[in-house]
Amino acid sequence: MSANSKILSTFLAIIFFAVVSAPAFSEEVAEGTVIDAANLNKLSSQTFEGETIASLLPKTIQAWIRERGLKIELVHTTPYPKDPKLMAWTEKNRTAVKLNSKTKKVQGWQAGIPFPDIDPDDPDAAIKIVYNMYYGKPRGDSQDLSKVWTIFVNGKDGVERSRHERIVRVFMKGLLRHEEGPVLGDGNILEKRVGILLSPQDQRGEGSYLVRYDDGRLDDIIAYPVKTRKVRRISGGTWMDPSPPTDFVGDDFVIASAFPAWYQSYRLLAKKKILVVANSQNPNWRPYKTGDKHPSFDLKHPPYWNPTDKWEPREVYVVEAIPPENHPYGKKILYIDADNWNPYIGEYYDNEGAYWKIAILSYRLFQLKDDPEAWIVWPPWSVNVDWQRNHATIVLDDSALEGYAFNSGVQPKDLNVQFIIKEGKKN
C-alpha cells in the first residue's frame, strides 16, 4: 500500500470512529403530544424543551402512567409574572431574614420570600427551601374559597361520595396589600382559618376554626359538630393524624402545611426539571352543566382519579422531609418550584420505607380585579392517592363560578365559631 493510500485509510478510519462514537441527538417531542402507557418507553429517550422525557417524569409518575393509565399532554412552559410588592419584600429579606441554627425557626421575616438565594452547599439549604414554600408562595392576604368540592374515589368501583364546603383563610403575616402593613398583631399568629361543610345535608353547618401560630406552638383547633351544637377543642397534634374519610394526614393540606420546624430534618436531593400542571386549563367544577361536571378528572374509567390537564416543564427542588417518630409517614419527598415556591408533587413513604401515597397539585394564575400588579398562584385541583389502599381524594374549586375570592376584605376578627354557625345556616 502506498503512503498516500495509508494516509487516506487512516483519515477515513478517524472519520468513521468519530461518527459512530458521537452522541446521538435526541428527537424533540412536539407540543400536544400525549404520553401514555403505550408510548412511554418509546418517548423516554426523546426530549421536550431539551430535557429527556424520562428525566422529566419522576419514577412514581412513570409508575402511575404504566400501572394506572395516567395520560400527560405536553405544553410549553409559561412563566408567571412577578408581583412587584412580593419581590420588593423579597429583596429586603436578603439582609433582614436569618435562620436560627438552634431552633430552625426564621427570624426577621415579615413578608416576601425569606431566602431568595439558595446555595446547594449550604447545610440548611433544604429547610430554607421549605420555608420559602411555607411563607413565600404568592397566595394573597386572604382567601374565601366558597365552592370547594371533595370527591372520594375507590380505584376499583369509582366515586363513593362527595361533599361541598367553604374554606376561609385570613393571614396575619406576609401581607402585601393590607392597610395596616405586612404583620397584624404581635406577629405570633400566621393565619386563622375556618372550614364549613355545606353538603351532604345531614352534615350541613359542621365546621372547624383553626389558629396557626408562627412561633412553633401547636395549632388551636375548635370543632363545631352540628348534631350536638356544642363546640369542642381538638388537640393541636392533629397535624400528623389521619383525617378520615380523606386520604390525608393533617399536614398533607397543599402537600406540606406543617410548621417546618416540627419536622426532624430536611435534605436537598436535587434541582431538576419535571413535568407539572402549572397552568391548569380545564374547568374543574360545572354543577349547573349537563354531562361531565368535573372535566379535570376522568371519573368514568378506572382508577377514576386520573387528571386530564396539561403538563409543562418546571425547575424544582427535590427535598426529603423526615417527620417526627410518631408520624404515620417515614418520609416525604417534596417537589417545590424553584422560582415561585409552590409544591407540585408529594411522595409519602411509610415507616418501613415503602411507597404509600402520592399527591399532585395543579396551579392557575389569578389577577386581582382592583390591582393589575397583584398576582395569585393557587391550586384549582389536587389529588391525593393512597397507592397501597387503591383509594384517592380529589379536591376541586373553580374560579369560573366565582369560587375564589382573594383579598376580599375579610378580617381576622371575623373568623370564629359564630362565623361557622351563621354561614352554615345561610348557605
The values of phi and psi at residue 15, to 5°, are -60, -45
Q: Is the pLDDT of residue 7 over 50?
A: no
Closest CA to 92 of 73, 106, 111, 77: 111
**159 or 398, which is more confident:** 159
SS (H, E, C) 73-110: EECCCCCCCCCHHHHHHHHHHHHHCEECCCCCCEECCC
The residue type found at 314 is R
| CA–CA gap between residue 119 and residue 123 (Å, rounded) | 9
**Structure confidence at residue 8 (pLDDT):** 44
Cβ-Cβ contacts under 8 Å for 118 (sequence gap 6 or more) = 125, 128, 129, 132, 317, 338
Q: Are 348 and 242 in contact (CB under 8 A)?
A: no
**Structure confidence at residue 399 (pLDDT):** 57
**Structure confidence at residue 218 (pLDDT):** 96
As given in the structure block, the three cell numbers for residue 152 are: 372520594
Closest CA to 197 of 227, 240, 226: 226
What average pLDDT does the structure give for the chain?
Answer: 91
Q: Are 368 and 348 in contact (CB under 8 A)?
A: no
> Tell me: the pLDDT tens digits for 358-385?
999 999 998 887 888 899 999 999 999 9
| CA–CA gap between residue 225 and residue 220 (Å, rounded) | 17
> Tell me: the pLDDT tens digits for 162-198?
999 999 999 999 999 999 999 999 999 999 999 999 9
pLDDT (average), residues 215-238: 90
Residue 12 confidence class, pLDDT cut points 50, 70, 90: very low
As given in the structure block, the three cell numbers for residue 41 are: 418507553
| CA–CA gap between residue 236 and residue 133 (Å, rounded) | 22
- Beta bridge partners of residue 53, listed in sequence order: none
Q: Is the pLDDT of residue 20 over 60?
A: no
| CA–CA gap between residue 320 and residue 348 (Å, rounded) | 10
Burial classification of residue 368, based on how many CB atoms lie within 10 Å of its CB (0-12 exposed, 13-18 middle, 19 or more buried) = middle
| CA–CA gap between residue 181 and residue 250 (Å, rounded) | 30
Cα end-to-end distance, the chain, whole Å = 97
**CA dist list (Å): 385 to 64, 252, 304:** 10, 11, 11
Residue 241 confidence class, pLDDT cut points 50, 70, 90: very high
Q: Is the pLDDT of residue 398 over 90?
A: no
Residue 15 confidence class, pLDDT cut points 50, 70, 90: very low
Q: Percentage of residues in the chain with pLDDT exceeding 90?
A: 80
> Tell me: the pLDDT tens digits for 123-148?
999 999 999 999 999 999 999 998 89
3-state class (DSSP) for residue 139: coil
Q: Are 309 and 281 in contact (CB under 8 A)?
A: yes
Q: Is the pLDDT of residue 250 over 50?
A: yes
> Which run of H or E residues covers position 192?
strand 189-199
Q: Is the pLDDT of residue 23 over 80?
A: no
Q: Is the pLDDT of residue 70 over 90?
A: yes
> Tell me: the pLDDT tens digits for 261-302?
999 999 999 999 999 999 998 766 666 555 567 788 999 999
Q: Give me the residue spans of the domains in the chain.
A: 33-74, 84-129, 131-424
Closest CA to 81 of 284, 280, 344, 279: 279
pLDDT (average), residues 387-396: 96
CATH assignment of 131-424?
A: 2.50.20.10
pLDDT (average), residues 318-343: 98
pLDDT (average), residues 329-336: 99
Q: Are 358 and 347 in contact (CB under 8 A)?
A: yes
- Write the Ramachandran bin of 267: left for phi over 0, alpha for psi from -120 to 50, otherwise beta: beta
The residue type found at 118 is I
Q: Is the pLDDT of residue 4 over 70?
A: no
**Structure confidence at residue 198 (pLDDT):** 92
**Structure confidence at residue 427 (pLDDT):** 55
**Structure confidence at residue 290 (pLDDT):** 52
**Structure confidence at residue 285 (pLDDT):** 63
pLDDT (average), residues 241-246: 93
| CA–CA gap between residue 89 and residue 168 (Å, rounded) | 25
**Structure confidence at residue 226 (pLDDT):** 85
